[in-house]
Amino acid sequence: MNKNSTSPMSDDTIDEYPEINQNDLNRAIRRRNFVDVSEKQNITIALDSEIINWFKKKSEGKEYQSLINATLRDVIARNP
């Protein structure tokens, strides 16, 4: 702990950060890539294998569903 810290610390406490309790978890906001996931809705959709593989390749296998979402948003923005 540095000399400017205001966190109390006992001799047997090594970590500077306070312990997380259930109240802290209840106040937490779920986020994924800085997007509030409460704005999203989980659905089940059947897509052609070629489409899924294309998006996976474009996203290098990471977050391909986010890329599908961004593509759909772009289509909507261009076709109000």
pTM value is 0.52
Burial class of residue 56, CB neighbours in 10 A (0-12, 13-18, 19+): middle
Quote the pLDDT of residue 14.
61
Res. 55: pLDDT tops 80? yes
Tell me the domain boundaries of the chain: 22-78
Q: What is the pLDDT of residues 5-41, one digit of tens each?
A: 555 555 555 667 788 888 888 887 766 666 666 678 8
Average pLDDT in the chain = 80
Average pLDDT, stretch 51-72? 91
